[in-house]
Amino acid sequence: MLSACATKQPYADDETIARVRYTDPGPPELVLYTMINNRTGGGAHSSLMISASERVIFDPAGSFYASVVPERNDVLFGISPAIEQAYRGAHARSTHHVVIQSVEVTQQQAETAYRLALSNGAVAGAFCSNATAQLLQKVPGFEQVRGGFSPKRLMRQFGSLPGVRTEEYHEDDSPDLQKALAEGDRRLAQDAALAE
């Protein structure tokens, strides 16, 4: 039903996660990603990047994969700028674009969202926007965000919050998500090898 909401259940161990830990030097923030179908205008997927004591992406029922990005219960770890770019690039293609909405938050709000993401557990397919909204509702200052199965509805609600900055990200490459993921994985693995 939703092109980017899939079911997969990898479980990275603590050592692997600790090895890639990334803390962004900027202010704490929450970033909502909404994948939009270019043909229909419908929402295809929702996810949330959380910049707290470390930066992660809560990718409920998501399909993103990279061999250098550990995942546990729909949380992606080690979200450096290169990984974040690979994440948005995998979802943006000739068939979809990504709406990126960011808002600065307090350290306490960020840490609350981070803890909620880590404790949430894996999400069933097609529940991406619902799970993201339920997480946000539990963060002080975001209680007005309502659940549901519409990524676009969540996008509109998030966009109406004070201080939210919105941008769109487009690419015009292959419509095949698996091909985009494989290409992104190849690049990230190559970069990691060069950095060693």
Q: Mean pLDDT over all residues of the chain?
A: 92
Residue 3 lies in a domain: no
Residue 55 lies in a domain: yes
Question: Residue 157 is inside which H or E element, if any?
Answer: helix 151-159
Copy the structure tokens of residue 190. Answer: 């190559």
Residue of higher predicted confidence among 4 and 117? 117
**pLDDT tens column, 95-127:** 999 999 999 999 999 999 999 999 999 999 889
Query: Does residue 8 surpass a pLDDT of 70?
Result: no
The secondary structure of 110-123 as a DSSP string is HHHHHHHHHHH---
How many other β-carbons are positioned within 10 Å of the β-carbon of residue 33? 26
DSSP state of 67: T
pTM surpassing 0.85?
Answer: yes
Residue 8 lies in a domain: no
Query: Can you give the residue range of the structural domain that contains 122?
Result: 14-185
Residue 1 lies in a domain: no
Count of domains forming the chain? 1
Residue 5 pLDDT class (50, 70, 90 cuts): low
> What are the φ/ψ torsions at residue 37 (nearest 5 degrees)?
-70, 120
Residue 69 pLDDT class (50, 70, 90 cuts): very high
Copy the structure tokens of residue 116. Answer: 């909620």
Residue 192 lies in a domain: no
Residue 195 lies in a domain: no
DSSP state of 71: E
Residue 61 lies in a domain: yes
Residue 46 lies in a domain: yes
* Residue that is written with structure tokens 């959380």 in the block: 50
